Structures are given as structure tokens and as C-alpha cells.
Amino acid sequence: MLLQRVLSALVGIPLIILAVWHGGLPLLCLIALIVFFGLQEMNLMLSNLGLNPSLWLAQAGGLILVSGAYLYDDGYPGPTITIILFLLLIATVALYPRYSLLDSAGTLMGTLYVGLLSYFYLIRTLPDGWIWLVFMFAGTWACDTAAFFMGKAFGRRSLAPELSPKKTLEGAIGGILGSLVAAYIFVIIYPFLSIPKMLLLGLALGVAAEVGDLLESAFKRQAGMKDSSALIPGHGGILDRFDSALFTAPLVYYYVRLFIMV
């Protein structure tokens, strides 16, 4: 399992870094591809919960969110949420009774949740955006990796036994320390960054990554699934790999806009 995780990382990480470096359409296309597979996994989870989500409506909503991130010049494309909501409400009327309001609500939640991946592109549009996007990935992966190894070595007390029995308090603390170390390393590399602001961001990023991981564990536990899919060897599915980043990407985007770009 560990060998598979390493091999998948050796293939996936350079691809992501290359897309981050180029930005623009290459990054947008990669995000759209990730959203496509992520929505498939989310729909499977919702189906396992007894809902009847619409995959084609979810995919249309994901495309609208990603396109909005590309076309909209002033932060998160809020109008896209209204468009997606209206699309789903119209579908609820047109497809009744085989597509219920509850099915529509599940589809909306899944679309907006997976659609948070569009923040990858929005971060890249910030001044020095490629630095912030690399930091987001590095901090998130540092948190996940440190939590894994610290939990293996020192884990004794369960963090959330009902959601994920294997996650420990010691592992969570190790993960936050990992994100703090990543933040400090970035300050060393880019001395124009404020140490207090970056350490605070590193702390918040670690907490957000842990919460994102636990949320996806809650989804899988309720759906009776071990992994969201088997798409990425050693890692599971898209949502298994990017669950933490779904929370850390919006955090980094708004933190930089509110507290660093001033």
C-alpha cells in the first residue's frame, strides 16, 4: 500500500506542479477533469445513502462552477450558484416524481462540495498565485503526511472514533505541526512574507485539512464505503486524495485576499 501511494505521488505530483506552473487553461482543464471524477464518486456516495442524484446535472453544475472561475474576474463566481440552483429546481419540476426535492438537494450539496476544487484556479489568479497554490498543496500534503506517520508512531487516543477510528489526536497534532513547518519553510524561501501571518495561516490550514479529512470520512461511513473509488492506486479516489484540499483551498484564497494582499 505504501509503495502504491509513493508511485502514485511520483506520477501525480509532477503533473499537478506542471499545471500550477503554467496556470491558465492547462490548470483549468486538469481541475475540470478532477471535478468530473470527483462528482462521479460523490454521486455514488449519495446513491448509497438511498438518494437518486442526477449525475448529468451534477456534471453540468461542476462545469458551470469551473467555467465561472475562469470567466469571473472578481473572486468566487457567486452568480454560478444561483444558476445551478435554478437548474436543479427546474429539473425537480420537470422530472417529478422520479427526481425529488431531496434528490435535488443532495445533488446541489455534492456539486458545490466537489466544486470547491475551483478554488485551485482562483488561487492561481492571485498576485504571485503560483506561490500560494504551491503553498496550499505543500501545506496540505505536509499535514496529511505528518498526521499519517505521527499517528502510526505515537497514536494512542482516538480523535473521532465514530467517524474514523484509526485517526488519533497525536496524529492530528502532528499534522498541524507539519503544516506549520511548511509555512515556516515558505517564509525562509520567500522572505517578503510575514512570519506571524504565515504561521497563523499554517495553523489554520492544518486545522482545515483535518476537518476536511474527517468530513469525507463521515460521507464514506454513512455511505458504507471504505474509499470513494479505486481510481488512484494506494490513495483511493479523487475525494480521498483531495478531501483536505477542498477545505484548505478556499481558506488560503480568502486569507491571502483579506490579510496579505493589503
pLDDT tens-place string over residues 87-111: 999 999 999 989 999 999 999 999 9
As a whole number of angstroms, the distance between CA 41 and CA 18 comes to 25
Residue 51's pLDDT is what?
A: 94
How many residues comprise the chain? 262
Q: Is the pLDDT of residue 30 over 80?
A: yes
- Residues 62-75: pLDDT tens digits? 999 999 999 887 77
- Count the Cβ atoms, other than its own, within 10 Å of residue 201: 27
Q: How confident is the model at residue 13 (pLDDT cuts 50, 70, 90)?
A: confident
As a whole number of angstroms, the distance between CA 133 and CA 205 comes to 13
**Which letter does DSSP use for residue 57 in this model?**
H
Residue 49's pLDDT is what?
A: 92
Q: Are 169 and 159 within 8 A, CB to CB?
A: yes
Q: How confident is the model at residue 76 (pLDDT cuts 50, 70, 90)?
A: confident
3-state secondary structure of 108: helix
